[in-house]
Amino acid sequence: MTDRHVMTVEAGRCACGQPLPPPPTGGGRARAYCSRACQQRAYRTRTDPAPDPASVAGLLTAVRRVAAALDAGHPADPGDLATVRDDTAGLLARAGHPAAEPAPSGRHVTTAGTARGDAAAEPAAGSRHREDGPPAPVATPAPAPVAAAAPPRTPPARRPARMTVTGPDGLRRTVGPETAAAIRAVTAAPTGQVPALARSGRDPTGWTVTLDGVVLGTLAPRRTLRGGVGGWQPHFPGPGALAVPGGERPTRDAAALALAAALDRMHRRRGRPRG
């Protein structure tokens, strides 16, 4: 988490926080980004496709393979067909609409000759009829009702893994799932990934720092006697909201970078995660 900027949108500033160049003196449209790099970063953010939902990723993959095989004139893989059938039934069951029951098999009311499969068959003893009369209908017993298949059981949600780290005071402790998720998000972010700032829902004067949708922590302002902001104190996520060592930072950007750097240091000194 070195050499990173923080995305804030303010009047007269770029998304990275830098001031925008002045408008052209000869007229024309004012620039919306301070550099080509910021413009490319905003374009990738707008055009990157959203990932498939995790609960139906396997179903969508199987549907694509089945459709590709049929479009090419080839038979579909039986395993893919089974995945489409079972996962679709499970999805409908989750939505409260179980799959339709299969149509009952068997024959309906027919005649004695067709029931035997031979139009010239001899009638059974005791059921003879006149040669010039119509054959008596024979009712086929109704099939037994078919019980609807039970929906697949949804496995219980797995508890978020905790993590043992060495804190700034040198003591080893186990952090909660919120801090563990923030550490993993910081260390897994590729080079150039930037955290974002948003107004805090609980504290209208504070800010929340996020990265790929994961909350890294919060920033709390220190108000001066004149109502201004004298500094920003970063806090770790989770219950208690422990303050990041080092005290206040002069700006929001500096406080967010200090929070990310503290999480990164905790990762380098962490122990083995405990499930």
Q: What confidence category does residue 3 fall into, taking pLDDT thresholds of 50, 70 and 90?
A: very low
pLDDT at residue 47 above 90?
no
Condensed to tens digits (0 to 9), the pLDDT of residues 157-185 reads 555 566 777 666 667 778 788 888 888 88
At residue 168, the pLDDT reads 64
Distance from C-alpha of 152 to C-alpha of 181, rounded to nearest angstrom = 30
pLDDT value of position 159: 56
Please give the mean pLDDT across all residues of the chain: 75
Q: What are residue 211's DSSP bridge partners?
A: 214
Query: Helix, strand, or coil here: 60?
Result: helix
List the chain domain ranges: 54-94, 163-268
Residue 269 has pLDDT above 80, yes or no: no
Q: What is the pLDDT of residue 100?
A: 53
Closest CA relative to residue 176, chosen from 109, 266, 261:
266
Q: What is the CA radius of gyration of the chain?
A: 34
Predicted confidence band of residue 46 (pLDDT cuts 50, 70, 90)? confident
Beta strands in 67-171 (DSSP E): 110-111, 137-138, 163-166
pLDDT digits (tens, 9 = 90+) for 87-132: 898 888 888 876 555 545 444 434 444 444 444 444 444 444 445 5
Give me the mean pLDDT over the 210-238 stretch.
87
